[in-house]
Each structure stands twice: as structure tokens, then as C-alpha cells.
Amino acid sequence: MKTAVDTVFLLPGQGGYTPGMLAGEAGSPMVAEVLHTVDRVAGEFGRGGVSGLLTNPGSPSAAELVRTDSFALQLAVFAAAVASCRLAEKHQTPDVLVGHSMGEIAALTVAGAFDTADGARLVCHRSEALLAHCPQGGAMAALELPADRAAHLVDAVAVPGLAVAVSNAPRQTVVSGSEEAVGTVMRLAEALGAQATRLNAPFPFHSPLLGAAGEAFGQAVAGIAQHPLRRTVYSPVDGGYVSDSTDLKALLVRQLMRPVYFLAAVRGLHAAGASRFVECGKAGLSGLVRRSVPDVIAEPTVRTAARAGAAEAVAAPVTALTAPVPAVAAAAAPVPVASVAPVVDAARILEQLRELYATALGYPAEAITGDADLEADLGIDSLKRAEMLGQVAARFGLRDSAAEGRFIVQPTLAELAGLVATALGEQSAAPAATLTAPVPAVAAAAAAVPVASVAPVVDAAQILEQLRELYATALGYPAEAITGDADLEADLGIDSLKRAEMLGRVAARFGLRDSAAEGRFIVQPTLAELAELVAEAQTAAR
């Protein structure tokens, strides 16, 4: 079995569905073939097809499908992963395929162990078994804790069926079990100061509670043929490579009840040489990889409805490697604000916000819904929300408006998306103005722009002068009061929350993108030290 790898394809399970996520690829013959086959198999089970869910951005959300049609949700997740992988294979060949949770069925299908129709049948039989035999009141929750600490909490609660379900990242572990038991674990985690997030999962996956469903599933799929593998597959459940001698249907049955060791899989493959992890879809797996191993490229492949329209000019720098990045003016020559063509569709902005928050916070994508209360449901306090506003400002080019209090008080991402859309519309309609500092020059098309084309200001002395002007203007202080060595809190009375708000403006002004979310920016006590850090980040971006 291969021991040296470079490129790993990741196929998502739960969280791998977003309404209309394949809308931009609906005309692709390979996508059409996958969707046609999956719809045909759905008909064999007396169900409607799922093509519309994946090609129509107005389709029901994952949260809604969890409540109303988990069968369709599971099938859509499978179809999305297989179709996305087929598209990714046009550009590069994976050395290894890794399926996360139910994504193992998609990985084995792409690898040739099952044809697309039989892969879809496996999903349908699995869903039927779960609907018939899964206990009521099951739940799953993501904890910002290492797996061993999460296991201690599970042991402390000591309720049958409660289990560590997934080890995702160094500080993200999913637990699964009864509603009451999972709720108790969440309260214990929160008492320890750890974030706990309820997942939109229709069943308590990877829990002993699914034993009866697993037995029924195994019996139902006994007649499905297993074929020789054409690609290498690593199973995060079995903790190693599978082979033609592996009973893969038995593996899929075990997977319903056993934990997913995704973190160990990522680290093991990285140790074997993997430097590129391609997420076939968009469920937050690439963010988990970046949290788990250093010096790798990890990116999603799907252009969702939020990114559709390749010819449209976008004001937001997108972090995916194949998306446009801002080209920053090398000189301080005035740049007309009116030349920026912003995204003003709130629905598209919401999808980008969900991806941004999921990646930055390390949450499963399905946990970041538009109507989830940022504080009550997701535990994002005011300070963290202000830090995230720095990323939002940089991504959408909000400029000065990001410092307005109305942004930080929005309770949900849906409401924040509406406000961003309004602000971008106002900026677009505003008369041309000039800025003395560099602003992002937006790509007029979706062709990738090499990062090397960014020419930032990297002179700390120049950056300090711009910071002094920015802070003086925004805070209404006399310019002479804003010295480089003045302590922002002790001398100027700028508390942590206000400092985080100001970081949004700093991020937008200097094109810091994701680095603005790093805690080191907000803890710098003086503008001189902040200027040095901005210069360092600008240099690193070159």
C-alpha cells in the first residue's frame, strides 16, 4: 500500500450540503450524470430526486431538511461529494481519498468500489434503516476541546449510548448520544469555558445507539457488489488504508456506531508527505485541516451560488486559493471608490459569511446557519464578534462603515448579511472619492490572481503614520494625542472591544484578510507595535 502521498481529496459527510451548491456546474456532463443517476435511484425507493436541491439556490436549507426530509438530505450530501470530486479530478489527481463520516460512501464510490448507482443505494438503505430504527431524541454537539478531555466529560456523565463521535481537530471534538446526555455534556463543557455547539444532525451518528439501525443496514445491502479499488482510500474509522480484501460494506456498518478519527487521519497523511488537501465540496473540512497540521494547502472546490457568476466583479477578497485576491496599489495615488463593484445580494453575502465564520472559528459548516443567534446559539461574545468584524470588513471592502456600532450588534448572520449588502450598495452609489491609503483593486473577473501580485506597504514608519491618522479620525482625538508609544488602553482609554472594532478598519485599510483574526493583533498595546505587526503581515503576504 502506498505510504508516500502529496494530494488528498476530502469528501464531506454531514454539513456537505448547501442549497444550490452546484448551480454553477449544472451544465457539466459529469455533474448531470451523477445527479441523473442519484435521482433515478431515489425513484427506486419511492422518493423524489435531489437535483433541485443542489442546483437551485432557493432550495430548503440543511437545517430545514433535518426537520422535514433527512432522507433527501443524506442523498444530496452524497451526490454533492461525488459530483464535486469528479469536477476536482479534471484538474488534479488525488493520491488518497478520505471520506468524513458518511463521506466514506462517496469516497469508496469515487474509488470504484461501488458504481454511482450502488453508492446511492447504500445511502438510501442507510437512511431507511436510520428512520426505522434510530431512537428518538438523539443529538450531536461540537466541543472546543481535545478528544481526551471530551472523553473525560463523556465518562463523567456515564449515560449508555453517549460517546465521542468525531475527533475533528486539536480542539474540536463531536459527541453523540441522547438529547439529555448531550445537553449535560454541553453544560459541563461550557462550565469549563469551552464552546459547545449543537449540530444540525438528524441522528446521533457514531454512537452505540445506532446498533439496531446498523444491523438493518447491513442486511439490506448484502446483495450490493463490491468492485476492485481504482484509487487509494484511507478510512478515518478504521484508522488506515482499505484494500480489495476489506469488507467495505461491513466497514460502512461499523461506521454508524464507531468514532471518526479525522484528526489522526489528517496528521498521519501529513506525516506521509501530504501537502495539499482538497475538500470536494464545502463543509469546513479544509478549515479543520489548517487547524491540525502546518504548512499545507487546504481549500474547498465548490463554487456555490454565493460565488456563481464568474464574470461579475466582486468587492470581497475571497480566501480560497482559486478565487480572486485583492491587488493592492503599490503607490499611495488616489483610487476612486466608485471603481469598486460590490456584491450587494444579501443571500450571496450570507453564504460567504457562513463560510468565513465556519473557517475562522473552526465550527462545522452546518452549525453556522443564517438564523442562529451569534451569542446565544454559537457562543460568540461581543469581543469575538468584533474580532470577526475585522475579517468581514476585509472580505467585503467595507472601509469606514465597518466601525459603525450597527454592525457589531446584529444578532444573526442573516441580519449582518443584510447590513453588509446595504453598506455595499451605499458605497457603490456614493460619488467618487479618493483615499490616501491603498485600497483593494477588485478583479473584474473570477480568474485567479497570483498572491505575488500584491504590493503592500511594508514600511512600519509609513504604516504608523496611517494608523495615527486612522485612529485620530475615527475616535475624534486630536492627531497629536495619537502617538506611536501611547498605550491604547491606559493612555487613550481604548478598551478591548473598541480596539477590536478598530481592527476591522485596520484590516480593510491594509488588506490584512485572514491574518486580522489572529489574537496577536488585538493585544498590541501601542500603535507602534501594531504598525510593526501590520508590516510583518504585509511582508508575509508578498
pLDDT at 324: 28
C-alpha cell at 234: 484511507
Render pLDDT for 147-188 as a digit per residue (tens, 0 to 9).
999 999 999 999 999 999 999 999 999 999 999 999 999 999
Residue 496 CB coordination number (10 Å): 15
pLDDT at 380: 75
Residue 267 Cα to chain centre, angstroms: 19
- What residues does 197 pair with on adjacent strands? 142
Q: Residue 127: CB partners within 8 Å, gap ≥ 6?
A: 70, 71, 74, 75
Domain chopping of the chain, boundaries: 7-132+210-300, 138-202, 327-541
pLDDT at 370: 79
CATH T-level assignment (fold) for domain 138-202: Alpha-Beta Plaits (3.30.70)
Closest-CA residue to 76 (of 129, 19, 115): 19
Residue 48 CB coordination number (10 Å): 14
Task: Spell out where 185-341 has E strands.
Answer: 196-198, 233-235, 240-241, 276-279, 297-300, 327-328
pLDDT at 462: 86
- Which H or E element spans position 174? strand 172-178
Residue 213 Cα to chain centre, angstroms: 30
Contact yes or no for 205/257 (Cβ under 8 A): no
For β-strands 233-235 and 240-241, DSSP reports them as: antiparallel
Render pLDDT for 351-404 as a digit per residue (tens, 0 to 9).
888 888 887 776 776 678 777 778 766 767 655 677 777 778 878 887 666 555
Q: How far is Cα 121 from Cα 136, in angstroms, rounded to an integer?
A: 24
pLDDT at 455: 40
pLDDT at 145: 93
Q: Residue 80: CB partners within 8 Å, gap ≥ 6?
A: 12, 16, 17, 21, 22, 54, 281, 302
Low-confidence ranges of the chain (pLDDT < 70): 1-3, 302-344, 362, 365-366, 376-377, 379, 381-384, 399-405, 409, 429-458, 490, 495-498, 500-501, 513-520, 522-523, 541-542
Q: How far is Cα 273 from Cα 269, in angstroms, rounded to an integer?
A: 7
For β-strands 138-143 and 276-279, DSSP reports them as: unpaired
Torsion of CA 217, 218, 220, 223, to 10 degrees: 150
Handedness of CA 31, 33, 34, 38 (dihedral sign): positive
Q: How far is Cα 11 from Cα 77, in angstroms, rounded to an integer?
A: 10
Residue type (1 letter), 311:
A
Q: How far is Cα 38 from Cα 34, in angstroms, rounded to an integer?
A: 6
Closest-CA residue to 93 (of 278, 265, 217): 278
Cα angle at 158 between 155 and 164, to 5 degrees? Answer: 50
For β-strands 96-99 and 297-300, DSSP reports them as: unpaired
pLDDT at 493: 72
C-alpha cell at 542: 508578498
Residue 183 CB coordination number (10 Å): 16
Handedness of CA 294, 297, 302, 304 (dihedral sign): positive
Q: Residue 346: CB partners within 8 Å, gap ≥ 6?
A: 414, 417, 418, 420, 421
DSSP state at residue 487: B
Q: Residue 182: CB partners within 8 Å, gap ≥ 6?
A: 139, 140, 141, 162, 175, 176, 198, 204
Q: Which CATH superfamily is domain 7-132+210-300 in?
A: Malonyl-Coenzyme A Acyl Carrier Protein, domain 2 (3.40.366.10)
pLDDT at 282: 80
Length of the chain: 542
